[in-house]
Structure 1
C-alpha cells in the first residue's frame, strides 16, 4: 500500500453488509446521495463485466444517482481474488481522492474481512502454471484435486465444488511449497489493515421475509434474462469460469446444459439463494462490531442517528 494513502486518515468508510436480498444496496444508495458519498462494490460477483441480471448489479439509472466504483469491470475469463481486490481498492482511493464518505457494499464476507484486517501477501504465480492445474481439473476431476489438497492441507475448508479456490490452493502449494493455511498464519497478515475510520452496518430479515423477497428476486432474474446472459458466456466457452459457479448462475448453467424446466430453475435458484443467505448470516453474526438493523422505520431512524454521529 502506498504510504501517502495510509496518511489520509480523514477518509471515512461505511461497510454495508449482510445477506443477499437484505436491502443493502438501496440503503447505501440513499445514504450516498444524502452525504455526497460514493459506493464501492465488495460483492464477488458484481465485479464481472456482463454479469448483471444474475448478480443483481445496480442499474444504469441507479449509478447516475451516486458514483459507483469497482462494478462490472473484470472481463472473462479473468477472475478476481481478494488480493486483487485490495490492490484495486487502494488504487481507486489514491486516484479519486474522495472527499465524501465511502460506502463499501456487498455480502462477500471474506473480501470484507481482507479489506478490514488485511491479509497475507498475495503469491504471484505464472498464468501457465495455473492453466496446467485447470487442465488437470478437467481431466482428473475436482474430487482428485480436492483429495490432494486435503492430504497436503488437512485444515482446508475449501469445498470440492469451489473450483476457483481449489485450483488456487493447489497452485500455491505446488509453486511455493506452502499451504494457504501456512500463509494465513504468518505475522505479516495484518500489515495492510484498513487505515481509515470506519463502521460496519448490517441488514437482516426474518426467514419468512427472505422467502418472499428471494421468490420475487428470482422471478425478476428469470424475466430480465439470466438465461440469455448465462447462455452468452457458455457460447463463448466460459463454462468453467468461476463466477458462473455462483448462486443463480450455477443453476442456470445446469438448466441450459441438462435441459431442465423453468419451474426447476426457479425452485433451484430460490433454494440455492436461501442456502447462501444462511451461510452469510452465520459468517456475519460472528462479528459483534456490526451495527445490525431491520428495515422498519424505527430501526432505520436509530441507524441514521448512529451514522450521523459517525460522520459528524
Structure 2
C-alpha cells in the first residue's frame, strides 16, 4: 500500500511530467485537479470512462462550465452515447492530448475514477485481436438477455480464472468474446501483447484520494439528491429518447436505470434516491478495492476535512 500524506510528504508536482489523481466517485478529484492546474499551469484531462459521453453531464458529475473555465479541460463530453469505447481507444486519444499539453508548455493533470485507464497508462496495455462479428453478437445477446450470471456460466468452462475474478458484465462479456473467437484466454493475450506504457510511473506524481467511508457516503447521498433534481431527470429523459441499446456503456451509467424507473412510474422519487445512493456506494466500494489492490505504489491522500486549496498546499 502506498504511503499516506502524513507518512511521507509528496514532492512538488512541478518535478514531474504528469500528475495522476485517482479516487472513488464523489471524493473531490476534480476540485483538486483544477486547483493544481491553476497553480502549476496545468491542463485537466479526463480519465473517467463515463465522463467521455457528451449526453451525460449531471449523471456522471462532469465538471461544470464554470469549473472548466478555471483551467483548460480535455476529453470531457467528446463522444456520443451511441459509441462503445475501449481502453485502447482512450489511450490513443490520451497520447495525442499528452503531446498537445506538453507542446503548450503545460502540465498534464489526469483525473478520474477508471482504475484500468491509469493502470494501462503507466504499465502498458494489450491490444487484443479482432473479434469475429458473429461471436460478438452472440455474446452480447447472451449478456443482454441473461445478464452477468449467464455470461459467467458460459465463460467458466473456457476461462475459469476470468469467470471467478471479473465482476463487471462488460468485462466478462469481453473475456467470453475473446476466448470463443480466438481459442485463447484474455489473460493469455494480455501477457503476450503488453505494450509500452505512455507514461513511466516514476515520471508521474500518482495520487489516490482515500476518504473515510462515512465522509464519502455523505457526499454520495448529496450527489444522488442532485441527480434527481429536474436537470438530472431531464438529462436521462433525453438519453432514453435516443433509443440506444441497454448494452452500451453510457446506458449503464449509475443513475440512468434509477431515473428510467422513476420516469416509468415503477418507483417513486424516494425509492429512486435510495437505489441511486446504494448503487453509487457499491460502485465506490469496488473502486476502492481496485485502487487498494492495483495501485499499491501510489500516494494516498485523505481529503476529508480539507479544501482543495489546502490539499494543494500540502503537495507543495
What TM-score, normalized to structure 1? Answer: 0.84
Deviation at 1:253, TM superposition (A): 3.3
- Show the counterpart of 2:299: 291
Unaligned runs of 5+ in 2: 1-14
- Show the counterpart of 2:7: none
Of 130, 149, 154 in structure 2, the residue corresponding to residue 148 of structure 1 is 154
- Show the counterpart of 1:37: 42
Deviation at 1:143, TM superposition (A): 4.0
The correspondence of residues 1-312 of structure 1 with structure 2, limited to 5 A, is: 12-96=17-101, 97-125=103-131, 130-138=136-144, 143-156=149-162, 157-159=165-167, 162-186=168-192, 188-195=193-200, 197-240=203-246, 241-257=248-264, 259-286=266-293, 287-295=295-303, 296-297=305-306, 304-306=313-315, 308=316
Structure 1 residues 158-217: Cα deviation after superposition (integer angstroms, max 9, x where no partner) = 33xx4432332222223222221212222x425235247101112232222122211111
Deviation at 1:120, TM superposition (A): 1.2
Structure 1 residues 97-116: Cα deviation after superposition (integer angstroms, max 9, x where no partner) = 24221111011111111111
Deviation at 1:65, TM superposition (A): 1.4
**Count of equivalent residues:** 295
* Secondary structure, counterpart of 1:53 in structure 2: coil
Tell whether the 8 Å contact from 1:116 to 1:194 is kept in structure 2 after alignment.
yes
* Secondary structure, counterpart of 1:269 in structure 2: helix
Higher RCO structure, 1 or 2 (CA under 8 Å, sep 6+): 2
Q: CA RMSD in A?
A: 2.6
Change (3 A) 1:252 1:150: farther
What TM-score, normalized to structure 2? Answer: 0.83
Runs of 4+ in 1 over 6 A off after TM superposition: none
Deviation at 1:260, TM superposition (A): 0.8
* Secondary structure, counterpart of 2:160 in structure 1: coil
Deviation at 1:27, TM superposition (A): 1.0
CA distance in 2, matches of 1:141, 1:285: 28
